[in-house]
């Protein structure tokens, strides 16, 4: 993989990389399309990274459908697919990792304390192997993009990071590989996540500036809709992810909940325009 991209770079080609864990949906494909449009050659990666899953999370049952994924990527014009085995990425004795930046401690970090260390490590390894000019990530994982941007800056990784908008199903549910876990009834409950974000955004746009009240109302709406449990609901500064109370635009609204055993996240920016 490294040699392929080295050859491309020597020939003056601009290379884009789209890291994923597979089980691809239109969200992933939007990243791939952006790369195909904006660069000369696109490398997608599929690797279900064990180090970003905590014990008891869904590593073993995470959906895997490599042949189908390969077809989907080829269909949008991706040129190379890199899907290494786990023992190639983490050979026996491998023991160095990235200490994720401070911004990883909030929100997701409170509930999944080892997650972003695993993400930062695998993303750096993939960027080192592939060596792209640009790498594409989704705003769906808002904090992840912030962590990766900071890592790339702090560790002088020579790559441009591009964040792409959240792709949703027509009913508003943010696309996720984990949505396949949801029963029809759970899916209805899960719609309250995007519904809660939409309503909160409207209330902020119409002048509500009380961050505490907003979070309280959002939590209540989610509970009333039947979510199983809430990890966090936040109205935060889009750069620092610190609580925004009183609300000063722009802010980002972030939600992480369980519907049954499925953990779902979503977010939305509210900006002055």
Q: List the catalytic residues.
A: 28
- The side-by-side arrangement of strands in the sheet containing 262-270 is 229-236, 251-259, 262-270
Q: How many residues bind ligand AMP (CB under 6 A)?
A: 17
Residues 169-188 that bind ligand AMP (CB under 6 A): 174-177
Residue with tokens 């809660």: 196
Q: Minimal distance in Å, beta carbon 51 to ligand AMP?
A: 13
CA distance 144 to 133: 19
Find the part of the chain contacting ligand AMP (CB under 6 A) among 19-27, 73-81, 122-130, 211-219.
Answer: 19-27
Q: Minimal distance in Å, beta carbon 31 to ligand AMP?
A: 5
Find the part of the chain contacting ligand AMP (CB under 6 A) among 22-30, 60-68, 99-107, 242-250.
Answer: 22-30
Find the part of the chain contacting ligand AMP (CB under 6 A) among 27-35, 79-87, 95-103, 187-195.
Answer: 27-35
Write the burial class of residue 122 (CB in 10 Å: 0-12 exposed, 13-18 middle, 19+ buried).
Answer: buried
CA distance 88 to 134: 24
Question: Strand, helix or coil at 28?
Answer: helix
CA distance 221 to 46: 36
Output the CA–CA distances (angstroms, integers) from residue 183 to 45, 261, 266, in the order listed.
Answer: 29, 11, 19
CA distance 239 to 159: 20
- What are the backbone angles phi and psi of residue 235, rounded to the nearest 5°? -115, 115
Q: Minimal distance in Å, beta carbon 58 to ligand AMP?
A: 12
Q: Which is nearer to ligand AMP, 27 or 101 (CB)?
A: 27
The CB-nearest residue to ligand AMP is 138
- Taking CB under 6 A as the rule, which mask of x and - marks residues 125-154 in contact with ligand AMP? ------------xx-xx-------------
Q: Which is nearer to ligand AMP, 177 or 196 (CB)?
A: 177
Structure-block tokens of residue 263: 């953990």
Q: Minimal distance in Å, beta carbon 263 to ligand AMP?
A: 12
Query: Which of 8, 29, 31, 252 contacts ligand AMP by CB under 6 A?
Result: 31
Residue with tokens 């490590």: 121
Question: Strand, helix or coil at 150?
Answer: helix
Query: Which of 1, 59, 167, 191 contacts ligand AMP by CB under 6 A?
Result: 167
Find the part of the chain contacting ligand AMP (CB under 6 A) among 26-34, 125-133, 209-217, 232-240.
Answer: 26-34
- What are the backbone angles phi and psi of residue 138, rounded to the nearest 5°? -100, 140
Residues found near ligand AMP in the complex (CB under 6 A): 20-21, 27-28, 30-31, 137-138, 140-141, 164, 166-167, 174-177
């Amino acid at each position: 993989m490294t040699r392929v991209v080295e050859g491309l770079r020597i020939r003056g080609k601009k290379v884009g990389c789209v890291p994923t864990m597979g089980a691809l949906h239109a969200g992933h494909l939007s990243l791939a399309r952006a790369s195909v449009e904006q660069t000369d050659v696109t490398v997608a990666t599929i690797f279900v990274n064990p180090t970003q899953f905590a014990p008891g999370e869904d590593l073993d049952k995470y959906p895997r459908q490599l042949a189908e994924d390969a077809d989907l990527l080829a269909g949008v014009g991706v040129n190379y697919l890199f899907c290494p085995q786990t023992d190639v990425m983490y050979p026996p004795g491998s023991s160095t990792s990235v200490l994720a930046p401070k911004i990883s401690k909030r929100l997701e970090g409170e509930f999944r304390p080892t997650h972003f260390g695993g993400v930062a490590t695998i993303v750096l390894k993939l960027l080192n192997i592939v060596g792209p000019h640009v790498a594409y990530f989704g705003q769906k994982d808002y904090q992840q993009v912030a962590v990766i941007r900071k890592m790339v800056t702090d560790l002088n990784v020579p790559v441009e990071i591009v964040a792409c908008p959240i792709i949703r199903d027509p009913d508003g549910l943010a696309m996720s590989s984990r949505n396949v876990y949801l029963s029809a009834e759970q899916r209805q409950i899960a719609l309250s996540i995007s519904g809660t974000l939409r309503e909160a955004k409207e209330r902020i746009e119409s002048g509500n500036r009380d961050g505490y009240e907003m979070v309280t109302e959002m939590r209540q709406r989610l509970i009333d809709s039947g979510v199983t449990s809430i990890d966090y609901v936040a109205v935060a500064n889009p750069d620092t992810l610190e609580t925004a109370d009183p609300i000063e635009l722009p802010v980002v609204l972030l939600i992480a909940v369980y519907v049954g055993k499925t953990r779902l996240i979503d977010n939305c920016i509210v900006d002055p325009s």
